[in-house]
Structure 1
Amino acid sequence: MKVLWNKGEFYTQVYEKPFCTQEPRGFSHREVQYNQFMIATSNYRAKAGTIGAKVQHYGEWKDPYPRTVPELGDSPTKQDILVAGMLSKENLLDLIQNFIVFEVDGGRVIKKIARYQQFRAVNKAIQRILHAKTPKDRGGVIWHTQGSGKSLTMLYLAVKLRRIKELQNPTIVVVTDRKDLDDQITKTFRKCGFPNPQQAESVKDLKRLLQQGPGSTIMTLVQKFQPDKDQDEYPELSRSENIFVLVDESHRTQYKGLAMNMRKGLPNACYIGFTGTPIDKEDKSTTRTFGSYIDKYTIEQAVDDGATVPIFYEARMVNLHLQGESLDRLFDRKFSDYSEEDRERIKKKYAKEEAILAAPSRIEQIALDIVEHFENYILPNGFKAQVVAVNREAAAIYKQELDELINGKYETALIISTGPEDKNNELLKDYSLSREEEKQLIERFKKPFEEDKLAILIVCDKLLTGFDAPIEQVMYLDKPLKEHNLLQAIARTNRTYEGKTYGLIVDYFGVSKFLEKALAIFSKQDIQGALLPIESELPKLKQAHRKAMSFFDYINRSDADACVQVLEPEDVRHEFEKAFKEFSKRMDMILPNPEASPYVEDLKFLGKVRQMAKTLYRDEQMDISECGEKVKQLIAEHLYAESVEVIHEPIDILSSKFDERLEKAPSKEAQAAEMEHAIRHEIKVKLEENPVYYTSLREKLEQLIEARRKKMMGIAELVEKLRSMVNDMRNVNQQAQNLGFTREQYPFYQLFQQLLPDEEHKDAIDALTHLVTDIIAEESQVIDWVNKEDVKREMRKKIKKQLRASVIPKDQIENVTQQIMSLAMVHYKR
């Protein structure tokens, strides 16, 4: 097992290079091929993920289940908790056997490992199943908030149920109450390689599947638990206790007669309910039907873990709710040509709230606000949107108004339920979609904006539950929602996506005004952090600004070089980088709102200093790509206006332009800093090419810097010695030629010379270098040889034979062979 963390270098090694073509630095092909999961840790930080996963998909392991955090001793670190939770013998084997799946998506194979709450919930459920006093005590409810991987938790539970010997290959039934959810969960099971999940096609087909005996996995809608036309009651299909029914969104599906039919058909089955929203305070039926909570994973926990993003809300244009005088103004404007009597008659017709919400003039104004908000706040970062209207007619009007305003810059799509009766409806007749057409629109919407310009979906009832599109950042809500429906709808925006730091609900109906009432049925603890006012970000912005600027409290900010000098220590630079990214994240959320104005100039200043520090100190971790587009554009424009020089990439130390840069440095200290970090960068980049040479160079550099720090060396002497090192690095190829070696052969020579530095061995080492590199050159003619074990095996065999016949000490042959193979894969890769 490899464990490493070097200020983010681990992540760059692991996820930036696809392992099918090149191993991450420090890992052999065999280690990558059989790797189960990766751990990155440095005591106060610890995260785990799979090979090839991006940095945002690495997560902390916060629960040492079945142990508890207090059992680990006083103040255990994150590393302690992760080690206890993932690497204890029982948990490690359990994770490898039952909690790793491969999902095929878009032609790519994605390896997934359970998060701690999924591992905990599944094992709690298994413990309850195996140790319940009676069969009826086996069930319960798993509440894991929406967007936190509930479908995968169901999959992991199904996998483990299938593999436990005591359960003797049970029947597993997965129940949902909506066709799209049924398809989604079935798709998840199939894509992750679960053996033969069968989707019930009809009422009759479901009965057949439930009676076919143990070992089957059945996916069905609860609506299919219906008696035949000639039956008064649903029949008993199996009395087996070895049937496990996993019910999705159990708070919805369990309150009707169909759920009763399910229990009549399978009276002794174990029922486990899954829900993405908490059970409300007054609801007794869910716990009575399933049992008590098995596991909870709250909204706040998911956000804290990075499993979901926080959701903010913003009330806009609430005067358009059209109550009282605003309603009169609408009608006076819209129906001014009508008589007073007709206006009163129409007003009565529109008096219902739904009719008010669907009023065309009102929608026209809101559509304009939506387009302006979307193009200023959401689209610059490449995210997409959903508009929720009160009914189908209102949704169609939104479609027409938005398309007229957008004028072809991007696309919208209307997804509503239609039927044959809508053929004569002038407003709806053009919006009928087949199931396949609807599916294609949804798939297009999920793609990055650069690939597909379908940017806004307009709905009224569809896609408010079970719809998973991580690219959606904002929901424009113009419909009354409350309780479970509200929590489920807003969660469409909480999925994680690269660069996405929050979801947003823009409220045109006024839900946010009555938020406490709309969510009153839930306990406050369960919905803590469900929906946050956007204004709550302003104090956090102020705090993040103060922290980022505090690095330069006692520095003249007009002196850019002095500011950059503050960031010379690597640990200070690392802390500044964290503070800057936090500040830029808060700014990107608020921009272009005028509330951000007081901080704009400081953001430009910090961006400039940061770019200069990145260039001077060759710090690849100071990467602006994680910042939002609005922030990036603002900083880029400022850098361009201020000085083109600071946005240039660092100059190669081997280039003559590097000397020109040194001559422009304002002081000896600046020259020393420029050379020191250029040398460090060169060593880091080329260490694999010649470990012996560049390791000795690094040691020499550290000695010089330490001597200067202890005031054992003046700045002029340091500059001179650093110049000498730079010249030495420039002449390394010439040194190789002077000794009769090519650039590729020289690292092998230095490896042997390090082992046998005495002059008496020089001729033997010269000959051995040529013999070994000749073997490598011959064997490496095979294309892609670095990934072919038979070729590498033959190469190792010949190299070892040559080493045994040489002056290399016998106890060093194995180690030297490994180092030679590593060099060969760098210099002779085809």
Structure 2
Amino acid sequence: MTELNEKQLVENRMICQLQGLGYEHVHSPALDEERETLRDVVLTKRLSNAIHRLNPWIDENNLNKMTRQVTHIDATSVMEANEQFHKDLVSYISIQQDLGKGKKNQTVKMIDFDDPENNEFLVVDQLTISDVGGTIKPDLILYINGLPLVVIECKSPTITNQMGEAVKQLNRYQREIDRLFHYTQFLIATSGEQAQAGTVGAQTRHYSEWKDPWPFKIDDIGTEPNRQDILTVGMLTKTQLLDLVQNFIVYEPEGGKTVKKLARYQQFRAVNKAVERILHTETPKERGGVVWHTQGSGKSLSMLYLAVKLRRISSLKNPTILIVTDRNDLDNQIAGTFRRCGFPNPKQAEGVNDLRQLLTQARGSTITTTVHKFQEGEQGEAHPLLSEDENIFVMVDESHRTQYKGLAVNMRSALPNACYLGFTGTPIDKEDRSTTRTFGPYIDKYTIQQAVDDGATVPIFYEGRMTNLHVQGESLDTLFDRTFREYPEEDRERIKQRFATEESLTGAPKRVEQIVLDLIHHFETHIRPDGFKAQLVAVNRKTAILYKEKLDELSDLESVVIFSGGHNDGEHLQKYHLSDVEEKNYIDRFKKAGDPLEIIIVVDKLLTGFDAPIEQVLYLDKPLKEHNLLQAIARTNRRYKGKTHGLLVDYYGVSSFLNEALSVFDDSDIEGALHPVESEIPRLQNRHRAAMRYFDHVDFFDSEACIQVLRPEDVRNEFDVAFRKFAESVNMVMPNPKAEPYKKDLKFLGKIRQMAKSRYREPQMDISDCGEKVKRLIADHLHASSIEVLHEPIDIMSGKFTERLETYTSDEAKASEMEHAIRHEIKVKLDENPVYYTSLKEKLEQLIEDGKEKRMDLIEQLEELQKITAELRNSDKQGEEEGFTKEEYPFFQLMEQELPYDDKEPLKELTHIITEEIQDYAVMDWPEKDEVQRQMRRKIKRQLRASHCPKDQLEGLTQQMMDLAKVHYKK
């Protein structure tokens, strides 16, 4: 039923929809005649025909060269090959040919990006691809001009963890047949009701939904479209697909490896809306506008995608692109992003004069600068006119900020006909008319709540700690009395004269010490166990240094102070000045998992434009509001493995006046910006109920009964998902006291899950995937409960397995342990002897079915299970009796099943001949050597042909033999 649902409800539905979008549906058998071997992933004839059609001048020699260059990519890894192919595809390959004026480089197109209808679009189902790594059969492959650009894996909507299973399958395909993924531009995992897209090498968390089919509307798609239908229209319509491939894919180095990035739907939509406005407005001034995409949702990449697309629009005549920020570190960050993603030669303006020269002379350049380089001359004269060109596009980062207001006039004076596009990570406030006046109305919005709903960012929670020390909301006298209550009265009066201001009181050493003690406890119990890091925001530089010194004095936490130094700073401040190199080194260390640098202490620096996904918490002891508050807290909203939320720990009292701090924004724009920790409690309650309901009618003290509840695989999978969500919510709320009522049930569920892991041989049912605080809680409970819970599964082939069975008091428990031990042995050994273990699996399934249908009682079932166990233990002797070694016997059984021989003797002889041939070629590391494998394959085929193997079985049987050889003769 599951396979039927997958085929009918998911795969066939997408095929029909793609046919409606103009794709031709081709069944895979029809392509087998086109392909020389099952190894071929490119449809060479179709590619050759397309190249000739799109480049009619090309001669036969160059056509063959082109085809070979595409089908034989020289690269050391899948990602390197994928990047090289993408570059050749969208930037075209250059080839030498004489068109009548001597040999010159000519550009060769493989795809016509300008006219989608001038290409061949195919959707192919169940195409078998076989190579040395194995055999795969992707559900759907989308071919354009013979090139496999999209691979789609469909899963039944009835299974648990649909996206996880689909991505797992796609990743297996990438391991086994990596050549297919030299060409794949993106991959899709779908179950109908869920559908997500990702790139080569991506894990499940990197796949994302395509929620908006812009420029189409959801109502245009049909009656009650599901998420798959929306993604199909949004990404796979011919125009959309070619646009994505050409303009919305970049390769960026990250952590020593290259990561392929595909635009998300909001980036695609914003860029195309901006282009539409640029191309279809009546006056140059109307072309601009503002893109508000909340922080952490890929604003810098959106700017990059827009620059890429503007460069390719011929009517813009090689435009100049100017990226403007308001700080040097942001300028460096954006210039670095453009450079890392392979954008051609971005130029970073070094000063006022350099910027003016670049804008005056360098048409068609990409330039990055800070806004301050648009300042007036030394005598205060007006800013000079630099260019009157209309094809200059100015993209301004964080365009709402006050420092743009005065310098915007200078930009207009310098570039009066340019198109101004504002990008911001925070919404425009209600009173800010100058931003829209400078840039124009909104082009696109992507709100804080949308980003969280999409999983682009994590939600941010807040909690006020040490409320008796909060500055905001308290009178200075009250706060002073609390902070200095332990001092004698005469000292208090003297101190009061010195600490007369709110800022000074905030940095009072006694107050800072109390906060540091609380911070250390909070970080060590709540943040460090999960491997995350923190920023601490102090009110001024002097207080920041005091925090650093107190942390060093009272803990082993490694921290660093990062602030902007001044030439007139005193000796104590200068001691903490950092060079640019030192600062970069500290930031790199902070971003690195496992590095002992865990806390960065700041005042203003690194509160905007700083991207460190490993940061989970912002300790705030400074008055922040409006844009500054939204930008600061967004340091914690980046996604990271195991990170479910960011956290603002408020020592100043800002969160008590949150509505006031954010009052300049429309409520709809800041919905979901910050949540009190207590807001997770209702979800925790729901998740608790969802996990506990499996055991509503079972005695909690009867562990065997609880384990039997999880016997069906689908129930086990559903419970596992429910448990993970419950554990996630507990981890989010701990150490808040409101998590206490749930700890007992979490321990109980963790124990049952661990026992089920052992019984059903389910390695993923482990506490290792839980948050560290939850993991410790459960682990301590398991150690305290009984050794039985902690035991690892015993191999059924071991003599200790019988001893284990004797510890069970019920026949039902013994039968269950034996059944799943046999299942595990079959699963582990299936590749060693597919024929034998598949037969055994069928026998076991029949036995279990007979038990369910009451065709045999429990005692009879136990006897049959013991017979299967004995057969497993004696399996090697069966081969010996037939005259085979352990390695040879699986080959004999395979041929006995596949070849039409009545007499065993010729098959035995053929088995010995083929296995001897294999051993002759089985040199060291032969599965990694293509030439050795080709020769081995050729020898096996020759022997099978000589033995009258049916022609239609020859290819498949040879591959099965090769697979067995890799298991049994790998050196």
> Contact conserved, 1:197 with 1:219, CA < 8 A, in 2?
yes
CA deviations 1:357-392 (Å, max 9, x no partner) are 122221121111111111121111111111111111
State which of 393, 396, 404 in structure 2 corresponds to 1:255: 404
SS at match of 2:153: coil
Q: Does 1:691 align with 2:841?
A: no
1:566 Cα offset (Å): 0.8
Compared with structure 1, are the counterparts of its residues 190 and 697 closer, same or farther at alpha carbon in structure 2 (3 Å cutoff)? Answer: farther
Partner of 2:810: 667
Q: Does 1:538 align with 2:685?
A: no
CA deviations 1:426-476 (Å, max 9, x no partner) are 4x232111111111111111111xx32111111111111111111111111
State which of 458, 468, 471 in structure 2 corresponds to 1:319: 468
Compared with structure 1, are the counterparts of its residues 799 and 540 closer, same or farther at alpha carbon in structure 2 (3 Å cutoff)? Answer: same
Rounded Cα–Cα distance in structure 1 between residues aligned with 2:961 and 2:359: 61
Compared with structure 1, are the counterparts of its residues 682 and 458 closer, same or farther at alpha carbon in structure 2 (3 Å cutoff)? Answer: same
Compared with structure 1, are the counterparts of its residues 717 and 468 closer, same or farther at alpha carbon in structure 2 (3 Å cutoff)? Answer: same
Compared with structure 1, are the counterparts of its residues 688 and 190 closer, same or farther at alpha carbon in structure 2 (3 Å cutoff)? Answer: farther
State which of 576, 580, 599 in structure 1 corresponds to 2:719: 576
Rounded Cα–Cα distance in structure 1 between residues aligned with 2:541 and 2:241: 52
Partner of 1:308: 457
CA deviations 1:740-759 (Å, max 9, x no partner) are 44444433333322222542
CA deviations 1:197-219 (Å, max 9, x no partner) are 22111222222222344432212
> Contact conserved, 2:535 with 2:618, CA < 8 A, in 1?
yes
Compared with structure 1, are the counterparts of its residues 121 and 373 closer, same or farther at alpha carbon in structure 2 (3 Å cutoff)? Answer: same
User: Counterpart amino acid of 2:959?
Assistant: Q
Q: Does 1:101 align with 2:250?
A: yes
Partner of 2:855: 712
SS at match of 1:314: strand
Partner of 1:503: 646
- Taking the TM superposition and a 5 Å limit, the aligned residue runs for 1:772-787 are 772-781=914-923, 783=925, 785-787=926-928
> Contact conserved, 2:292 with 2:444, CA < 8 A, in 1?
yes
Rounded Cα–Cα distance in structure 1 between residues aligned with 2:277 and 2:934: 51
Partner of 2:481: 329
Unaligned stretches of 5+ in structure 1?
none
> Contact conserved, 2:754 with 2:766, CA < 8 A, in 1?
no
State which of 419, 431, 447 in structure 2 corresponds to 1:298: 447
SS at match of 1:109: strand
> Contact conserved, 1:468 with 1:492, CA < 8 A, in 2?
yes
Q: Does 1:516 align with 2:659?
A: yes
> Contact conserved, 1:331 with 1:347, CA < 8 A, in 2?
no
Rounded Cα–Cα distance in structure 2 between residues aligned with 1:273 and 1:829: 60
> Contact conserved, 1:171 with 1:243, CA < 8 A, in 2?
yes
Rounded Cα–Cα distance in structure 2 between residues aligned with 1:829 and 1:210: 63
SS at match of 2:401: helix
State which of 401, 413, 417 in structure 1 corresponds to 2:560: 413
Rounded Cα–Cα distance in structure 1 between residues aligned with 2:916 and 2:389: 70
CA deviations 1:264-300 (Å, max 9, x no partner) are 2222222222111111122222222222222221111
Partner of 2:313: 164
Compared with structure 1, are the counterparts of its residues 626 and 655 closer, same or farther at alpha carbon in structure 2 (3 Å cutoff)? Answer: same
State which of 232, 246, 265 in structure 2 corresponds to 1:116: 265
Partner of 1:816: 957
CA deviations 1:498-546 (Å, max 9, x no partner) are 1111111111111111110111111111111100011112232222222
> Contact conserved, 2:468 with 2:482, CA < 8 A, in 1?
no
> Contact conserved, 1:13 with 1:24, CA < 8 A, in 2?
no
1:248 Cα offset (Å): 1.1
Compared with structure 1, are the counterparts of its residues 413 and 136 closer, same or farther at alpha carbon in structure 2 (3 Å cutoff)? Answer: same
SS at match of 2:663: coil
State which of 419, 422, 427 in structure 1 corresponds to 2:569: 422
1:330 Cα offset (Å): 4.8
Compared with structure 1, are the counterparts of its residues 770 and 257 closer, same or farther at alpha carbon in structure 2 (3 Å cutoff)? Answer: farther
Partner of 2:431: 282
Rounded Cα–Cα distance in structure 2 between residues aligned with 1:374 and 1:457: 13
Compared with structure 1, are the counterparts of its residues 730 and 38 closer, same or farther at alpha carbon in structure 2 (3 Å cutoff)? Answer: farther
Q: Does 1:401 align with 2:550?
A: yes
1:701 Cα offset (Å): 2.7
SS at match of 1:39: strand
CA deviations 1:59-81 (Å, max 9, x no partner) are 22222333232223333333333
SS at match of 2:795: coil
Partner of 1:443: 588
> Contact conserved, 2:320 with 2:391, CA < 8 A, in 1?
yes
1:627 Cα offset (Å): 0.9
User: Counterpart amino acid of 1:696?
Assistant: S
Partner of 1:765: 907
- Taking the TM superposition and a 5 Å limit, the aligned residue runs for 1:476-625 are 476-625=619-768
Q: Does 1:638 align with 2:785?
A: no
User: Counterpart amino acid of 2:827?
Assistant: K
Partner of 1:147: 296
> Contact conserved, 1:255 with 1:285, CA < 8 A, in 2?
no
> Contact conserved, 1:278 with 1:526, CA < 8 A, in 2?
yes
1:335 Cα offset (Å): 5.9
CA deviations 1:138-189 (Å, max 9, x no partner) are 3222211111121222222222222334434322222111111111122222
Percent identity, aligned pairs only?
60
User: Counterpart amino acid of 1:323?
Assistant: S
Rounded Cα–Cα distance in structure 2 between residues aligned with 1:780 and 1:186: 52
1:333 Cα offset (Å): 4.1
> Contact conserved, 1:483 with 1:520, CA < 8 A, in 2?
yes
Partner of 1:457: 600
1:562 Cα offset (Å): 0.5
Give the CA RMSD over aligned residues: 2.7
User: Counterpart amino acid of 2:699?
Assistant: N
User: Counterpart amino acid of 1:173?
Assistant: L
Rounded Cα–Cα distance in structure 1 between residues aligned with 2:615 and 2:721: 26
SS at match of 2:570: helix
CA deviations 1:601-659 (Å, max 9, x no partner) are 11111110010111111123323222111110111111111112222222222222222
Partner of 1:365: 514
Rounded Cα–Cα distance in structure 1 between residues aligned with 2:790 and 2:582: 47
> Contact conserved, 2:152 with 2:190, CA < 8 A, in 1?
no
SS at match of 1:759: coil
Of residues 502-511 and 151-160 in structure 1, the stretch that sits farther from structure 2 once superposed is: 151-160
CA deviations 1:720-755 (Å, max 9, x no partner) are 223333333333333333334444443333332222
Rounded Cα–Cα distance in structure 2 between residues aligned with 1:774 and 1:106: 46
Compared with structure 1, are the counterparts of its residues 363 and 660 closer, same or farther at alpha carbon in structure 2 (3 Å cutoff)? Answer: same
> Contact conserved, 1:63 with 1:69, CA < 8 A, in 2?
yes
User: Counterpart amino acid of 2:848?
Assistant: I
State which of 190, 194, 206 in structure 1 corresponds to 2:339: 190
Partner of 2:203: 54
> Contact conserved, 1:422 with 1:429, CA < 8 A, in 2?
yes
> So what's the TM-score if we normalise by structure 1?
0.92
Compared with structure 1, are the counterparts of its residues 652 and 122 closer, same or farther at alpha carbon in structure 2 (3 Å cutoff)? Answer: farther
SS at match of 2:684: helix
> Contact conserved, 2:289 with 2:439, CA < 8 A, in 1?
yes
User: Counterpart amino acid of 1:405?
Assistant: L
Task: Give the aligned length.
Answer: 815
SS at match of 1:420: coil
SS at match of 1:387: strand
1:788 Cα offset (Å): 4.7
> Contact conserved, 2:405 with 2:434, CA < 8 A, in 1?
no
1:329 Cα offset (Å): 1.9
Of residues 723-732 and 625-634 in structure 1, the stretch that sits farther from structure 2 once superposed is: 723-732
Rounded Cα–Cα distance in structure 2 between residues aligned with 1:628 and 1:28: 35
Compared with structure 1, are the counterparts of its residues 744 and 202 closer, same or farther at alpha carbon in structure 2 (3 Å cutoff)? Answer: farther
Compared with structure 1, are the counterparts of its residues 82 and 715 closer, same or farther at alpha carbon in structure 2 (3 Å cutoff)? Answer: farther
> Contact conserved, 1:14 with 1:24, CA < 8 A, in 2?
no
Rounded Cα–Cα distance in structure 2 between residues aligned with 1:820 and 1:9: 33
